[in-house]
């Protein structure tokens, strides 16, 4: 039983050390919600007539990570 306690303690220490290393070596990213900015996002598309329309938004990525915009397609 003593051996199992020592093994669990060693695993706990190893996990804490790994988390500490990851915390201090991971680059800091902007807070959630500030990495991707959509400019001119206040357009009211509800007033457009039915049919096909081209709507363009300017998107800025302030993060060092690549982000994917879901729901858009190439024209």
Read off the pLDDT of residues 2-51 as tens digits, 9 standing for 90 and up: 889 999 999 999 999 999 998 888 776 656 656 777 777 667 778 888 88
Q: Which residues contact 41 (CB under 8 A, 6 or more apart)?
A: 57
Domain residue spans of the chain: 2-61
User: pTM for the complete prediction?
Assistant: 0.38
pLDDT grade, residue 55 (50/70/90)? Answer: confident
Q: What is the DSSP string of 2-60?
A: HHHHHHHHHHHHHHHHHHHHHHHHSPP-PPTTSSEEEETTT--GGGSPSS------EEE
| Length reported for the chain | 75
């Amino acid at each position: 039983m003593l051996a199992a306690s020592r093994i669990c303690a060693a695993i706990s220490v190893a996990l804490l050390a790994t988390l500490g290393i990851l915390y201090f070596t991971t680059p800091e990213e902007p807070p959630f919600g500030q990495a991707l900015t959509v400019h001119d996002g206040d357009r009211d598309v509800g007033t457009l007539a039915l049919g096909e329309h081209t709507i363009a938004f300017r998107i800025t990525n302030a993060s060092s990570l690549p982000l994917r915009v879901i729901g858009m397609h190439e024209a």
